Structure 1
Amino acid sequence: MGNQPALTSHERAAAALRDQFAALPPGAPVRLAKTTSNLFRFREPATRTLDVSAFSGVLSVDAEARTAEVGGMTTYEQLVDATLPYGLMPMVVPQLKTITLGGAVAGLGIESTSFRNGLPHESVLEMEILTGDGRIVHTKRGEELYRGFPNSYGTLGYALLLKIELEPVKPFVELRHVKFDDPMVIADHTDVDFLDGTVFGPGDQYLTLGRFVDKTPYRPSDYTGTEIFYKSIPDRETDYLTIRDYIWRWDTDWFWCSRAFGAQIPAVRRLWPKRYLRSDVYRKIVAWDRRYQLSARIGRLRGAAPREPVIQDVEIPLARLAEFLEFFHRDIGITPVWLCPVKLRDKETWPLYPMDPDTLYVNVGFWATVAMKPGDGPGHHNRLIEQVVTDLGGHKSLYSESFYSREDFWRLYNGERYRALKREFDPDGRLPDLYDKCVRGR
């Protein structure tokens, strides 16, 4: 991807990683030694892992060409810090700081530029991937591995180096929070730089329209300390943020999920160190609680009904969004809910996540627990959501728990193409199968 001195170091690191991979015993699980994760499929820690720390960092930024060469384990926080000084940002910056570039491409990422820039993998020009058969493969637009890698979740290989497109920014973002009733109005507001929405309940929903500006009429707001971004949406018709604070507006409180840890109680907020108001801190708390079942034990002692984690992002065609929200408010009841319009940037389709390139979808994100009623089986609410999403012609991201049957899963995620890719790039099955990893938790 280039001839800079940094790439020589990268090539040495890639060769060392290939040797690490080859040294793993046949049949041993292949896992990466990562300090953070944004997945909500919790597994026991692996005893042997691949050291990928050498693939974290931005190797180069070409301000004139508006491109960057980036290690696959680089977090978006690192990436944004490297590109903003050039007046540039990635085409899509997923909303949490510790999501890695490689993770957003092998999984799926989304944010408020997705209505015009699609998904993060669409702005990747080329990639270097350690495949399941131990090769390091360079792939670019139009090639089978390039097209099949998104939504493979590390079951075909791991991205070590990516060349990506960037776009220019201005110093500030002006926000307008507009209350709406009919979700179809979303299609009328695509003449902006940023677009997302928040649903606080039936009939209480807002679009947030963002535009780049060079200066602000007053001091920009700061939602990295005592103030909380999502609470400002119903109260402030207009707002201003620096571009960096806008990019990370959701990270400080993990959207609104920090309230589960008491971090939004004013007295607690004042004592909570600002450096720990971050999504990765909250996620570690959740992982610890899941492992030791503390919340579940306290609930049982109090005689409360068991609660089912419902942590999902789904893409619904805009024309069916009202139907989905009606179902969701009636049968699930989680609030708030995030809305993020998304349309594929180009006419190219992506085989493992087959969205229609001519359709405007809306990502609906919801992250909480729901009380279970007597007789509800495991995953009751999640299964119900999966069925409704399918019935409405939508799709579900696979970063969290899934409950599909094997037949339904492969029908929805193009099992025929996946198996062909698996035969070519992981014929011995060194990496897990996508169904086993995302549904069976292996």
Structure 2
Amino acid sequence: MSSVIRAVADTAGLRSSMTGSRYRTGALRQFSTRTIPLRNASALRVQSRRKIMDVRYISQSLAPSPANDAHKKAIEQISGDVRRFYERKEKFRINHGSTNSTRNNAKGKNIINIGGLSHVLEVNTATQTALVEPNVPMDRLVEETLKYGLVPPVVMEFPGITVGGGYAGTSGESSSFRHGFFNRTIKRVEMILADGQVITCSETERPDLFHGAAGAVGSMGVTTLVELQLQPARRYVETTYHPVSGMPDAIKKIQELTEDSSIDYVDGIMFSKDRGAIITGHLTDSSDAPVQRFSHAWDPWFYMHVDSHTQSRSSTPPRFAIPLAEYLFRYDRGGFWVGASAFKYFSTPFNKFTRWFLDDFLHTRMMYTALHAAGMPPNYIVQDLALPYSTATQFVDYTDSYFGIYPLWLCPLKQSPIPTMHPHKEEYEADGKTLKPLLNIGLWGYGKQHDLVKANVSLERKLKQLGGMKWLYAQTYYSEDEFWEMYDRKWYDGLRDKYGATSLPSVYEKVKAAPKGEEEGLSLMRKTLKIWPISGFYGIWKAIQSKSYLAARASTWKDFDRMVKEKEA
């Protein structure tokens, strides 16, 4: 392992700049928020600073550097703006600059922009931790930590998902059967409360807020910095594709494999009701399996690679050595398999040549940008659901008959302590203390139903009937009473009252579906842009304008394994 650290450090030109075990990174970027005029703003700033200085928070311990100084300045500015909204008794929303949610983006005049908080401020190899601003995306985070031979234990598969989004939302990935949701790998959080006060929360300091804000979609405060736990990186994830013959077989295989302490990653794909694969990964520095990549335009999409190698069951499941970062972002190209829907939408041939030719458009950043501009097709479902193992097969029977959507993604999840805003089910193992795991089922694709509202309402009812819950990145069609039947409202409202967050939009206000009549007030231009295929071309145009494709092109994580090889040679 030390050879990997030395190799990458040399390649990055960092060895000569190492001082002890702590390193700092991040370039100074311009930061901006909307300033709200206030008659007694000067006096209010003094009052706000006095209150903030009474509380210790993470930024106060940062050593002087351009990035750290910029962070401190940004925190002062944001906290002042938040305080002014609080004094005016006005609710506001946060603009992060990017999103992987399928809900409507924050719009309106009461917006605070925190898009500039996008730096890794510090990586500490002694404690194996990193101080990270909330808008650092997964690919930039991994690129930075790999320089020191470290990697986050839970990494969201889409490179553009941010650290703050992982904390405020629900992020369960293939390592979550062991580590839990992404927020369970966070040690401390710096947050601006709704009254402008800057505080720190952790397992020992305001633990109720530390756990309660996770999954609460920013309804408790504004996250400005997190201390993230890291673990030693390895060169490869030795990946095995285990064919299964249906959901009962898949669940049995998942239960068996998640008990194996040598396995670091587990997820699965159901290609049909009767055929799928459970995929396991083991971190290693060497492997005799063939090396396989998925990041270049000529590489296969991951799910298609799994499909082609599990068409028939053999005595020896196929194995591949996937470079670590390639594994972590294996679903980026094609967005799992959602990218295939774009070919169907435009009636375009779906083959190796067209995937290669259109590769820039088929990374998740570009697809999300296009989706938000174009809007969701009327019969397209994008939902993540969590169910007990005991009812997961019944749920797939329902989706098979009602939607007919395949593939489906399967991901075993270690539950968070209850109460929580994450999906949960209060069922315990034989010890009476350990919560039973849940199974995340990803349902993404064109369904049989053309009434999107009706389809989602049916889905939510069936999910509730089977003891499941949905991710809140997508809009919810539950009534407010139905929504709070699934969550502990007394606990949630109590936290909001305690930390003065009632001036922020509540979680239900953020995730509820737009009223049915909302489109009636749209201009003729906006209505035209919702017509097929105009909406699709408009989405592509906006995606090109965003230049999101440049982020994928600029990724250096693709070269990590090559850099190690060159140093070893």
1:404 to 478, 486, 494: 478
1:217 corresponds to 2:288? yes
Change (3 A) 1:44 1:149: closer
Once residues 108 and 81 of structure 2 are traced to their aligned partners in structure 1, the CA distance between those partners, rounded to angstroms, is 15
1:336 corresponds to 2:404? no
Change (3 A) 1:405 1:318: same
Aligned to 1:188: 256
Once residues 164 and 11 of structure 1 are traced to their aligned partners in structure 2, the CA distance between those partners, rounded to angstroms, is 19
Change (3 A) 1:369 1:276: closer
Measured after TM superposition, the shift of residue 270 of structure 1 is 3.0
Once residues 239 and 62 of structure 1 are traced to their aligned partners in structure 2, the CA distance between those partners, rounded to angstroms, is 32
Once residues 38 and 286 of structure 1 are traced to their aligned partners in structure 2, the CA distance between those partners, rounded to angstroms, is 10
**Paired residue type of 1:343:** K
Any conservation in 1 of the 2:133–2:225 contact (CA below 8 Å)?
Answer: yes
Measured after TM superposition, the shift of residue 367 of structure 1 is 1.5
Aligned to 1:422: 496
In the alignment of these two chains, the number of paired residues is: 421
Deviates more, 1:234-243 or 1:18-27: 18-27
Paired residues for 1:18-37 under 5 Å: 18-24=79-85, 26=88, 28-37=90-99
**Paired residue type of 1:363:** N
Any conservation in 1 of the 2:138–2:159 contact (CA below 8 Å)?
Answer: yes
Can you list the C-alpha shifts for 1:195-218, whole angstroms capped at 9, x where unaligned? 000011111111001112212436
Any conservation in 1 of the 2:301–2:331 contact (CA below 8 Å)?
Answer: no
Aligned to 1:179: 243
Structure exhibiting the larger radius of gyration computed from Cα positions: 2
Once residues 218 and 416 of structure 1 are traced to their aligned partners in structure 2, the CA distance between those partners, rounded to angstroms, is 53
Can you list the C-alpha shifts for 1:119-178, whole angstroms capped at 9, x where unaligned? 011111111111222222211115211121012101111210111111222101111111
Any conservation in 1 of the 2:190–2:198 contact (CA below 8 Å)?
Answer: yes
Measured after TM superposition, the shift of residue 400 of structure 1 is 0.3
1:371 to 440, 448, 451: 448
1:389 corresponds to 2:463? yes
SS of equivalent to 2:440 = strand
Identify, as 1 or 2, the structure richer in helix: 2
Identity %: 24
Once residues 89 and 441 of structure 1 are traced to their aligned partners in structure 2, the CA distance between those partners, rounded to angstroms, is 39
1:145 corresponds to 2:209? yes
Once residues 216 and 184 of structure 1 are traced to their aligned partners in structure 2, the CA distance between those partners, rounded to angstroms, is 27
Once residues 449 and 395 of structure 2 are traced to their aligned partners in structure 1, the CA distance between those partners, rounded to angstroms, is 21
Can you list the C-alpha shifts for 1:52-81, whole angstroms capped at 9, x where unaligned? 134211111111211111111211111111
Aligned to 1:204: 275
Aligned to 1:113: 175
Aligned to 1:3: 62
Once residues 69 and 270 of structure 1 are traced to their aligned partners in structure 2, the CA distance between those partners, rounded to angstroms, is 37
Aligned to 1:380: 454
Once residues 252 and 372 of structure 1 are traced to their aligned partners in structure 2, the CA distance between those partners, rounded to angstroms, is 27
Measured after TM superposition, the shift of residue 23 of structure 1 is 4.2
Aligned to 1:56: 118
1:360 corresponds to 2:360? no
SS of equivalent to 2:164 = helix
Measured after TM superposition, the shift of residue 229 of structure 1 is 1.1
1:270 corresponds to 2:329? no
1:92 corresponds to 2:166? no
Aligned to 1:127: 189
Can you list the C-alpha shifts for 1:78-135, whole angstroms capped at 9, x where unaligned? 1111111222211211111111111111111011100101001111111111122222
Aligned to 2:380: 309
Aligned to 1:280: 365
Aligned to 1:303: none
Can you list the C-alpha shifts for 1:173-194, whole angstroms capped at 9, x where unaligned? 1111111132222110022111
Aligned to 2:220: 156
1:436 corresponds to 2:509? yes
Aligned to 1:349: 418
SS of equivalent to 1:65 = coil
Identify, as 1 or 2, the structure richer in strand: 1
Deviates more, 1:262-271 or 1:118-127: 262-271
1:228 corresponds to 2:313? no
**TM-score, normalising length from structure 2?**
0.70
Can you list the C-alpha shifts for 1:208-264, whole angstroms capped at 9, x where unaligned? 011122124366222222221111113232222110100000011100111122395
Any conservation in 2 of the 1:180–1:205 contact (CA below 8 Å)?
Answer: yes
Any unmatched runs of 5+ in structure 1? Answer: 296-306
Deviates more, 1:262-271 or 1:315-324: 262-271
Any conservation in 2 of the 1:29–1:46 contact (CA below 8 Å)?
Answer: no
**Paired residue type of 2:367:** Y
Aligned to 2:338: 257
Change (3 A) 1:132 1:254: same
Measured after TM superposition, the shift of residue 48 of structure 1 is 4.8
Can you list the C-alpha shifts for 1:266-313, whole angstroms capped at 9, x where unaligned? 3322322x55441010111111221xx8x6xxxxxxxxxxx3332111
**Paired residue type of 1:325:** V
Aligned to 1:104: 166
Aligned to 1:301: none
SS of equivalent to 1:281 = helix
Paired residues for 1:162-173 under 5 Å: 162-173=226-237
| RMSD of aligned Cα (Å) | 2.2
Any conservation in 1 of the 2:83–2:194 contact (CA below 8 Å)?
Answer: no
Any conservation in 2 of the 1:128–1:160 contact (CA below 8 Å)?
Answer: yes
Measured after TM superposition, the shift of residue 26 of structure 1 is 3.4
Any conservation in 2 of the 1:334–1:366 contact (CA below 8 Å)?
Answer: yes
Once residues 447 and 307 of structure 2 are traced to their aligned partners in structure 1, the CA distance between those partners, rounded to angstroms, is 25
Any conservation in 1 of the 2:180–2:413 contact (CA below 8 Å)?
Answer: yes
Any conservation in 2 of the 1:253–1:278 contact (CA below 8 Å)?
Answer: yes
Any conservation in 1 of the 2:289–2:320 contact (CA below 8 Å)?
Answer: no
Can you list the C-alpha shifts for 1:17-54, whole angstroms capped at 9, x where unaligned? 11222344936552333331111112463345323134
**Paired residue type of 1:286:** L
Once residues 218 and 115 of structure 1 are traced to their aligned partners in structure 2, the CA distance between those partners, rounded to angstroms, is 25
Change (3 A) 1:379 1:197: same
Deviates more, 1:22-31 or 1:92-101: 22-31
Can you list the C-alpha shifts for 1:375-398, whole angstroms capped at 9, x where unaligned? x6x622212221222222222111
